[in-house]
Amino acid sequence: MTPETIYRAGIAGATGYTGLALVQLIQRHPRLSIGWLTSENSAGKCFNDVHAVPWAIPLIPLQDAYARARDVDVVFLCLPHGESLEAARRFAQAGVRVIDLSADFRLDTPEAYATWYGHTHADPALLARFVYGLCEINREQIRGAQLIANPGCYPSSVNLGLYPLAEAGVLGRRVVVDSKSGISGAGRSSKLLYQFVESNENLTPYNLGYRHRHIAEMELVLNGSTQAGQGEGAHRFSFNPHLLPVNQGILSTMYVSVTGGMTEQQVRQLYAERYTGEPFIHVLPAGQQATLRHVTGTNRCAISITPEDPHNPNGSDYVIVACIDNIIKGASGQALQNFNIAAGIDETAGLL
Amino acid sequence: MTPETIYRAGIAGATGYTGLALVQLIQRHPRLSIGWLTSENSAGKCFNDVHAVPWAIPLIPLQDAYARARDVDVVFLCLPHGESLEAARRFAQAGVRVIDLSADFRLDTPEAYATWYGHTHADPALLARFVYGLCEINREQIRGAQLIANPGCYPSSVNLGLYPLAEAGVLGRRVVVDSKSGISGAGRSSKLLYQFVESNENLTPYNLGYRHRHIAEMELVLNGSTQAGQGEGAHRFSFNPHLLPVNQGILSTMYVSVTGGMTEQQVRQLYAERYTGEPFIHVLPAGQQATLRHVTGTNRCAISITPEDPHNPNGSDYVIVACIDNIIKGASGQALQNFNIAAGIDETAGLL
Amino acid sequence: MTPETIYRAGIAGATGYTGLALVQLIQRHPRLSIGWLTSENSAGKCFNDVHAVPWAIPLIPLQDAYARARDVDVVFLCLPHGESLEAARRFAQAGVRVIDLSADFRLDTPEAYATWYGHTHADPALLARFVYGLCEINREQIRGAQLIANPGCYPSSVNLGLYPLAEAGVLGRRVVVDSKSGISGAGRSSKLLYQFVESNENLTPYNLGYRHRHIAEMELVLNGSTQAGQGEGAHRFSFNPHLLPVNQGILSTMYVSVTGGMTEQQVRQLYAERYTGEPFIHVLPAGQQATLRHVTGTNRCAISITPEDPHNPNGSDYVIVACIDNIIKGASGQALQNFNIAAGIDETAGLL
Amino acid sequence: MTPETIYRAGIAGATGYTGLALVQLIQRHPRLSIGWLTSENSAGKCFNDVHAVPWAIPLIPLQDAYARARDVDVVFLCLPHGESLEAARRFAQAGVRVIDLSADFRLDTPEAYATWYGHTHADPALLARFVYGLCEINREQIRGAQLIANPGCYPSSVNLGLYPLAEAGVLGRRVVVDSKSGISGAGRSSKLLYQFVESNENLTPYNLGYRHRHIAEMELVLNGSTQAGQGEGAHRFSFNPHLLPVNQGILSTMYVSVTGGMTEQQVRQLYAERYTGEPFIHVLPAGQQATLRHVTGTNRCAISITPEDPHNPNGSDYVIVACIDNIIKGASGQALQNFNIAAGIDETAGLL
């Protein structure tokens, strides 16, 4: 046995909730250590001045991190949407592996950005080099990849929850997603809406219907492309998020039809086969529902499958529930999983 | 001016959450006072030995209350489902007004009990004398009524949220209801599932699909009868409740289609007209979503109306959100509102 | 019987939590209605654009309210500390009753402001005209008063909890107060500390020890003056607040000694006599502890008395627990109670 | 390098919260795996039938585990207080290492059990063989120990928070502890008091004063013995716990005097020296307070030190705040730390 390489990670935008989670997870990771952390607002302070943790790691401005790009093997970009582009370009040029947790490189075409974000993508060539890092679905493309777009939290729950049906071609056209997310999903911001008294003992629907930006990633994965539009075989997603008074966790309740005359047993078999051996996918047995408790604090996705009519269990209407921790499997945990796959080390390292 | 009559109320099963809320609300009611309270488990104690309130009202067994039926003008039955039947019969015979908060007299036919509760109703004659007390819909039948079945909490949110569409004949066949209820909806019981650590920071779907008992009351109100079955014009309800980590409140997110080529403006007009002058119905303007905060601690129902496609606002797909406080408008508040209507006094007395 | 006068209230700074609570409580008050509401940030909007309530009351700037001072009988000032001074002066000159919920007129001397707030009071003559509105203690001075300083929330819990001991001269010198307050106590602000994810599942001590500003009001009431200093008979207060993950409520656990060789029975008797007939003071029997549940949503103060040594119940060490709802009895409810007393109407009007 | 031994653990009483936490922590532990799990109520089921986890480990009755004692290297007893005694005896006889998480072997003398638990200890000889496993204080005795009594959660926070003062002989006689514990501290029981609606938005003091059983462990560590009584040099503990509406975490606010004329700087130096190099003790710098957030989900103890009078920072009155996660450092995490020390492996294994 030879000693194993310890890789070094830089985190850009380290003081938000995804940055915090990355720092915490890396402490446990046997093959990864922290090279540098950046923060624009808290540069000059240490990480433990900002968060209730014992690690006095200096926070440097992003500009300084560019000069130290070669000090690290991988950079995790936890920057606000829109600000990753420049950073990704700089670190990509430096030859460092980049895992971007923003939405800036998730979609498949520049046009998709025009449709969903209101502006075309500013660097289509760079966009084209990114792999969409939904680990269980795109594992082969992720291996060895230099540039990885880490998926959004809401779409990860939906895509993992419905992929076996879509892949088998038996997912009905209309997909109604009723999602509930813990408040860390809004980021570490000081908006009044996310104030304790405003959110606690409350539940708030927002951005309901067909036009939520996160639908783009559902089209990408379940339609195969954001450009499938409303064509034949394309699914139409109604996505309806609710702000839930918990810190972490997403539960997506999905109302779908299964085509092709499948029995419940056959539907379950699809999921079992697709996800067999997956260390982070937990498909629950008949009669059990996925809950936040199944996933909070873990990198797991829990999925439950319920035919709507128990008197006719082979009817076509199903409720699929999929849960993830929005900060772990929905962000920082999946980012580490992407790193593990890309670097060719144990996929579960630091994530159990 | 002559002094106004003060009515007296008995509460059977007063130590649960609906009993507690009734006691609290009656303290504020200008025309109602407490005659007696019953409890089987705590008989002999006082109300303030059981709840954190300052009112030392004795708790008597139900048997003793039968002998004191004539001491009160109205009895609120807060007994477990199945136990109201005998009590309702006894108080009805005594000529007292009865408002039953259980499910024992809500459905329209004995057969409906067979379908949804697994046994035929034991006293069809008594059942036939009950009025279904959904105040805003059945107000005229409630006036002067002696026997009133107080609606269930979940169905109240759904029925108030969809009634204007159903009444106008423009509610599409398939109705998907994704409901989230605070944990007081489970009653004041000591089951492990409702323990703080089990429920807090969690979200739990349960009893999903077409067969939840509460669907019977949706059929009753929105189909006009529990016997409409799957016939033409009948709606098919998929009802999907989730246990939400808050004390009080129900939010029902309802995915429906509106038929008849109506514009969004016309849909809003339907709601405005149906509910104009209703003191407890709060239809929100375009762009605002109903939240638990709109209703917690009140007898109000807040309703918001959102076309799913903002690019095609006159499309037929809508998300209707309806919120109530499960303990107030969903139980004890509506029970008092029923009393106020039946007794011919100010409908809002004690409820503002 | 002649119809009763309906008084009219203005609320300056109506969009914070105390303003919201006042608006809600006034809806229920039989003798009070809303004249106008001010907001600097939301002037031009309506109250229901800012809060999840159905009342479309216009919000006007404070300058406009000065011109409409005579439209109202009482003004409740819910302005930030430091901003009440000018408003109080203006409304006082207009002859309107003023109930100030800030700290600007609570202390007894201009010097006390120098000591505790770092600057002398800018209008000592006006300060001298204010009555300190701790209702149960200063009721006689409040009757008919034009200018009332509404007490702070933390000190109200401490002062009501310890007054019977201090009045009888048996409260020991050292008083350790460990207080826990719901997050609405921080006001309706968007600071990061009060964000849901920061506060939820957390508990945060702050400003511990001898120098918290709220101690001034404890000295005022329990020492009889803020000027008693450390002289003989003066109590020394260690006040230690903690931010608690609930919306509303303060629980103060107070570690005191009782002098004079009193038995537990005599101590209980002191409280019973001092508070007999008080509609909002709830002294719990031996063996029961005051909890937030006793007071949340009410104008009550719950007090429990526990000798530290159950084997020696007549020892001198006691734990006194006092609870109030910081927004109701600690602010808006007590403000209405002050109005009721000052105006000579039923002290409990609108508060049960 | 040679492959490292993987030790095997049995857990008796695995379905409570401490058992659940042990199972979760052991999944991450590089040198420990699960041998068997016992449950009397759920024997025959699997662990994932009881908890929302993916591990289908069979649950066996304790009697069967006795027969499999030699299959494991260490047994963690997560049994109710009073039930560990027989199990400890059996596993001790089998030569297995025993770490008992109950109170059955924590105190130093049989008489202490009579004083605090109302009955003398049934097996004084076995009691005498147990080491009290407060890792940072008793590390040397723990090394190689076969029988370890894992400390209680409340006393661990108090003892770690005050030990440097007590060890240096500068802790004043009277110690007032105001503790707040998350509801998992009550165990996984279905008592009404711990139901969500009863605990949420509430705060409940209980068992206040001088006679709480947990004081025995404070005397043991800080007085050096439970038999010091009220003699010279012995501290007198007033311990006052409150039930806090969070899942996990204890925050103890401790009001003490420091004798010997020490400056604040000297006090801080005592803590720094005592805990230097301790991987799980986090002493906060001046101006920062320990909060639950510092410790939740970790094996850390966070401690903050505040002189009560900032105008006289070298005064003798201090507020010491100590926080731990009651389930981790207060139970299962410390149990693993004890195992690591006793087995001679890296003390932090599985705990970062």
pLDDT per position as a tens digit, B273-332 = 999 999 999 999 999 999 999 999 999 999 999 999 977 767 899 999 999 999 999 999
Assess contact for C243 and C204: CB atoms under 8 A.
Answer: yes
pLDDT at residue number D1: 41
- Nearest chain C residue to B348 by CA distance is C28
Letter string b/e over residues A309-346, b meaning 16 or more CB atoms within 10 A of that residue's CB: beeeeebbbbbbbbbbbbbbbbbbbbbbbbbbbbbebe
- Name the packing angle between helices B333-343 and B135-142 (round to 10°): 30
* Tens-place pLDDT, residues A205-229: 999 998 889 999 999 999 999 988 7
Q: What is the pLDDT of residue C123?
A: 96
* pLDDT interval class at C3 (50, 70, 90): low
| Of the partner residues B53, B294, B352, the one whose CB lies closest to the CB of residue C27 | B352
Cβ atoms of D165 and D330 closer than 8 Å: no
**DSSP per residue, A40-84:** SSSBTBBHHHHSSSS---BEE-HHHHHHTGGG-SEEEE-PPTTTH
- Is the predicted pLDDT of residue B222 greater than 50, yes or no? yes
What's the CA dihedral at C99, C103, C106, C112 to 10 degrees? -160
Which domains, from first to last, does chain C contain? 7-151+331-343 (3.40.50.720), 154-326 (3.30.360.10)
DSSP 8-state assignment for residue C183: G
Residues 6+ apart with CB under 8 A from D226: D107, D108, D109, D111, D112, D115, D116, D216, D219, D220
Residue B310 is predicted with a pLDDT of 76
Distance CA B322, CA C252 (A): 39
Mutation target to probe the A interface, by most A beta carbons within 10 A, among D46, D294, D304 is D294
Q: Chain B residue with minimal CA distance to A238?
A: B308
Residue % of chain D over a pLDDT of 70: 99
CA distance A195 to C191: 8
List the single residue in D with minimal CA-CA distance to A51: D294
- Chain A neighbors of C192, CB-CB under 8 A: 188, 190
Q: Give residue-wise pLDDT tens across range A286-335.
A: 999 999 999 999 999 999 999 999 777 678 999 999 999 999 999 999 99
**Both ends of chain C: CA-CA distance in Å?**
24
Closest CA relative to residue A103, chosen from A121, A129, A91: A121
Q: What is the pLDDT of residues B238-290, one digit of tens each?
A: 999 999 999 999 999 999 999 999 999 999 999 999 999 999 999 999 999 99
Cα–Cα dist C143/D269, whole Å: 56
pLDDT tens digits along A29-43: 999 999 999 999 999
CB contact under 8 A, B253 and A240: yes
Do the strands B281-283 and B250-257 form a parallel or antiparallel pair, or are they unpaired?
unpaired
Residue reference for tokens 């049960």 = C352
User: First vs last Cα of chain A: how many Å apart?
Assistant: 24
A240 close to A189: Cβ distance less than 8 angstroms? no
What phi and psi, each to the nearest 5 degrees, are found at residue B86?
-65, -40
Angle CA D243–D247–D250, to nearest 5: 55
Per residue in D67-91, pLDDT (tens digit) is: 999 999 999 999 998 899 999 999 9
The residue-averaged pLDDT of D20-32 equals 97
CA atoms within 13 A on the CB side of A150: 32
With beta carbons less than 8 A apart as the criterion, state whether B30 and B346 touch.
no
Q: Which residues, 6 or more positions from A285, have their beta carbon under 8 angstroms from its beta carbon?
A: none
Q: Tabulate helix, strand, coil % of chain A (nearest 5).
A: 35, 25, 40
> Closest to B247 (Cβ–Cβ): which among D17, D184, D201?
D201
Q: Which residue of B has its CA nearest to A323?
A: B203
Report how far residue A104's alpha carbon sits from residue D16's, in angstroms, rounded to the nearest whole number.
44
Nearest residue on chain D to A288, alpha-carbon basis: D49
Contacts of D192 (CB under 8 A, 6+ apart): B188, B190, D198
| pLDDT score, position A2 | 53
What are the DSSP calls for B226-264, one per residue? TT-TT-TT--EEEEEEEE-SSSS-EEEEEEEEB-S---H
**Distance from C-alpha of D96 to C-alpha of C280, rounded to nearest angstrom:** 61
Cβ atoms D192, B190 nearer than 8 A: yes
Alpha carbons D137 and C296: distance in angstroms, whole number = 43
Please count the CA atoms within 13 angstroms of the CA of D46 that sit on its side-chain side: 8
Report pLDDT for B3: 65
Summary mean pLDDT of chain C: 95
Measured distance CA(A153)–CA(A150) in Å, rounded: 9
Per CB-CB distance under 8 Å, the chain A contacts of C184 are: 197
**Tokens standing for residue B25:** 């609300």
Geometric angle at alpha carbon D332, from D328 and D334, rounded to 5° = 75
D8, containing H or E segment = strand D7-12
CB contact under 8 A, D192 and B197: no
- Which amino acid is residue A153, in one-letter code? C
Tell me what the mean pLDDT of segment D113-139 comes to.
95
Decide if A202 contacts A180 (C-beta within 8 A).
no
pLDDT at D310 over 90: no
Select from A184, A187, A197 the least CA-distant residue to A83: A187
**Backbone angle region of A76, left / alpha / beta, with phi > 0 → left and psi within -120 to 50 → alpha:** beta
Which two structure tokens, joined as six digits, stand for B20?
């507690």
Note the ipTM here. Answer: 0.96
Q: Please answer yes or no on whether C293 and B1 come within 8 Å at the CB atom.
A: no
Chain A positions contacting chain C at CB under 8 Å are: 17, 182-184, 188-192, 194-201, 245-247
pTM: 0.97
Contact D52, A293 (CB under 8 A): yes
Taking 80 as the threshold, does the pLDDT of residue A230 lie above it? no
Q: What is the pLDDT of residues B38-49, one digit of tens each?
A: 999 999 999 999
Whether the per-residue pLDDT at B2 is higher than 60: the answer is: no
Phi, psi (degrees; rounded to nearest 5) at A323: -125, 140
Q: Are D196 and B245 in contact (CB < 8 Å)?
A: yes
> Looking at the predicted structure, is the pLDDT value of residue B231 above 90?
no
User: What tokens appear for D77 in the block?
Assistant: 């007893």
Q: Is A285 a residue whose pLDDT tops 70?
A: yes
Question: Could C210 and D309 be called an inter-chain contact, meaning their C-beta atoms sit closer than 8 Å?
Answer: yes
CB D235, CB D155: distance < 8 Å: no
Tens-digit pLDDT profile for residues C125-153: 999 999 999 999 999 999 999 999 999 99
Q: What confidence score (pLDDT) does residue C336 get?
A: 98
Most A-contacting residue of C53, C184, C196 (CB-CB within 10 A), to test interface: C196
pLDDT of residue C1: 42
Contact A196 C191 (CB under 8 A): no
Residues in B touching C293 (Cβ below 8 Å)? 52
Query: What are the residues of chain A with a beta carbon less than 8 Å away from any beta carbon of chain D?
Result: 1, 27-28, 52-54, 201, 282, 291, 293-294, 297, 300, 302, 352
pLDDT tens digit string along C264-301? 999 999 999 999 999 999 999 999 999 999 999 999 99
Average the pLDDT over D117-129 and give the result.
Answer: 94
Percent of chain B past pLDDT 90, that is, above it, reads: 91
pLDDT in tens, A231-262: 778 999 999 999 999 999 999 999 999 999 99
- The answer on pLDDT for D203 being more than 70 is yes
In sequence order, the β-bridge partners of residue B324 are B250, B301
Chain C residues touching chain D at CB-CB below 8 Å: 176, 178, 180, 198, 200-206, 208-211, 238, 240, 242, 244-249, 251, 253, 255, 289-293, 296, 304, 306-311, 317, 319, 321
Count the neighbouring beta carbons within 10 Å of the beta carbon of residue B33: 14
pLDDT in tens, B114-149: 999 988 999 999 999 999 999 999 999 999 999 999
Query: Does pLDDT of D3 surpass 70?
Result: no
Q: What is the mean pLDDT of chain B?
A: 95
Nearest-Cα distance to chain B for C128, in Å, is: 37
3-state secondary structure (DSSP) of residue B271: helix
- Rounded to the nearest angstrom, the gap between the alpha carbon of residue A44 and the centroid of all alpha carbons in its chain is 30
Q: Please say whether the beta carbons of B98 and B147 come within 8 A.
A: yes
pLDDT given for residue B81 in this prediction: 86
Q: Residue A3's pLDDT is what?
A: 66
Distance CA C67, CA D85 (A): 79
The pLDDT value recorded for residue B313 is 66
Q: How far apart are CA B196 and CA C308, in angstroms?
A: 29
Question: Bridge partners of D302?
Answer: D282, D323
Distance from CA of D41 to the nearest CA of B (A): 14
CB contact under 8 A, B294 and C53: yes
Q: In the predicted model, what is the mean pLDDT of residues A96-103? A: 98
Interface of A with B (CB under 8 A): 176, 178, 180, 198, 200-206, 208-211, 238, 240, 242, 244-249, 251, 253, 255, 289-293, 296, 304, 306-311, 317, 319, 321
Answer yes or no: are the C-beta atoms of B332 and B9 closer than 8 Å: no
- Classified as helix, coil or strand, D283 is strand
Lowest-pLDDT choice from A168-182, B256-270, D305-319: D305-319
Q: Residues A77-81: what's their mean pLDDT? A: 94
Contact D52/A291, CB-based, under 8 Å? yes
**Chains touching C (3+ CB pairs < 8 Å):** A, B, D
Of B184, B197, B198, the CB nearest to D197: B184
pLDDT, one tens digit per residue, over C151-196 is 999 999 999 999 999 999 999 999 999 999 999 999 998 899 999 9
pLDDT of C9 > 50? The answer is yes
Residue whose tokens read 């000059």: A44
Query: What's the Cα-to-Cα distance from A230 to each of A227, A235, B318, D144, rounded to whole Å?
Result: 9, 7, 19, 69
Q: Which of C306, C332, C343 is nearest to C76 (CA)?
A: C332
Give the rounded distance of the alpha carbon of B57 from its chain centre.
26
Q: Which two tokens stand for residue A43?
A: 């540069």
